[in-house]
Amino acid sequence: MAPLLGMSEQYLTMQKSFMEDFQKVFTQVANGSLPALTDRRFSSEAWQKNPQLLSLAHLYLLSAQKISEMVEHLEMDQEAKDKLVFSMHQWLDAMAPSNFFALNADALATFEKTKGESLQKGLHNLLQDLQKGRITQTDESAFEVGGNLAVTPGKVVYKNAFFELIQYAPQTESVYEIPLLIVPPCINKFYILDLQKDNSFVQGAVEQGHTVYLMSWRNPLPNDIDQPEQYTWDDYIENGVLRALQAVTEISQKDKINTLGFCVGGTMLATALAVAKARGIDYANSMTLLTTFLDFSDTGIMHVFVDEASVALREQTIGLGGLMPAKDLATTFSFLRPNELVWNYVVNNYFKGETPVPFDILYWNADSTNLPGPFYAWYLRHTYLENNLKKENYLTVAGESLNLALLDMDTYLYASKDDHIVPWKSAYLSNDILTGDVRFCLGASGHVAGVVNPPAKKKRHHWVNEYEYDDGYLSAEQWLEDAERQEGSWWVDWYAWIAERAGKQVRAKKTLGNRQYKPTVDAPGAYVKVRAVQ
């Protein structure tokens, strides 16, 4: 009974504090001394000029804070508590006064200023989005894949049912002799790494003198006659990453190449290289993993979506055939940050009748891909749910016993400090799995913006740690405590690291591919232009 009594006392204290703060708001309203709010949803001049709605915003934030405190003090199973906290925050964010036209001071002021035209435009925007089946987050008319996105020059030199292999044209007189293969995630399109010329990771690597190859994954559609909805994780490893590794080594005539994987692409790359190692083939001179899970013991907020019941449902519905729709994945990721990626656009697009500003990353974010059901169900169970990839010789992939400890090449691990999809401390755990020399770099910002950070922009910062412990780092916290903050892009640090592993400089070849791998269409190829059915 003692713990229960303690909790009762805590709630009584919170209740008393809430009533006192509640009364304070009313006193400030009566005195005309209600302070401005820093929360961007309620911080504009229109809110300051409307004391009634400003007081409502104060009371909302106060109530949300107290509800959050009460839930945080609940004594219950941690997994259930995490799901409750996530659901509660979804509900609290949705119930903000700013999300209701009649209670949004900004929307009302805009309505009055435009004599109702803003709401008329907003309704038009809403009808368009209902037809699309998603919220418009950017001016999509401002971008075209192959027009002003994914424009680094190159050719498709190989194609199968899973991917197109792009080889980029050299832009320097000489190039490093060891090429680089990039494996992007198949749950998004590759051009996040090749946006516009001034923020393209691919362009940057080519300008540094690397011969860059990149996999462009196919976007499977429901009416495809070869039934890609049957494809499995093993298929993607065997006919995808392993086939790309083989092609690059054969084109370059190098037994070993440098490799890079981003997010799920990094997980797939590590898996494929371990499968190849089990077969006695050592493809990788080095490996770079950007915001990648190998150890899924802490998946951050994503774990609230994955439990035995949800995975079993996916296995029953699409695990033997079918597609995981792109819009379902996109919606999930948007609601990880609902105020930024959902409600912000509800207010601006529908209440205020605004057109979103052009933003290439958000255009890419809306251009998502479908996934084969068997691939997706396998991935959920063996990574997020059971964390089986890191277990030595536990899984069989493409006919081989999987052991990631076979990966003894030099590895560059990059993580983003504010990443809500791959928490940086989880990315750091790959240190405990890989058996080669590892350099870890921690960048500022989130999952995508942290990665896409060209040096010329002179934005953000990153941390590196040159100190070596005899027995390795005990924890991610220890690493960060001893790390040195560097201003600017992490790309510069990676450029120096990869150059040391790229061999000598040789004269750049004018032709791409070879007799076996003949260049066909220009980059970015055909697969990347296929949009998921809305």
Residues with catalytic function: 263
- Comparing C-alpha atoms, which of 210, 200, 218 is closest to residue 152? 200
Whether 257 contacts 181, CB under 8 Å: yes
Buried b (16+ CB within 10 A) or exposed e, 242-252: bbbbebbbebb
Cβ neighbours for 186, distance < 8 A, ≥ 6 positions apart: 217, 236, 240, 264, 265, 268, 369, 371
Match 């601006």 to its residue by tokens: 348
User: Alpha-carbon torsion 498, 499, 504, 507, what sign?
Assistant: positive
Element (H, E) at 62: helix 51-72
Q: Within its chain, how far is the Cα of 372 from the centroid?
A: 19
Q: Which of 364, 273, 286, 352 is nearest to 326 (CA)?
A: 364
Looking at this protein, which amino acid is placed at residue 121?
Answer: K
Tokens of 520: 């066909």
Q: What is the DSSP string of 290-352?
A: ES--S--S--GGGGGG--HHHHHHHHHHTTTS-EE-HHHHHHHHHTTSHIIIIIHHIIIIIIS
What tokens does 322 get?
């079918």
Please compute, for residue 264, the number of CA atoms within 13 A of its CA located in the half-sphere on the CB side: 18
- Find all residues with CB under 8 Å of 482, minimum gap 6, and list them: 465, 467
Question: Can you say whether the dihedral through the CA atoms of 439, 442, 443, 449 is positive or negative?
Answer: positive
**What tokens does 107 get?**
């929307």
- Which residue type does 36 have? A
Q: Please state, in angstroms and rounded to a whole number, the distance separating the CA atoms of residues 243 and 247.
A: 6
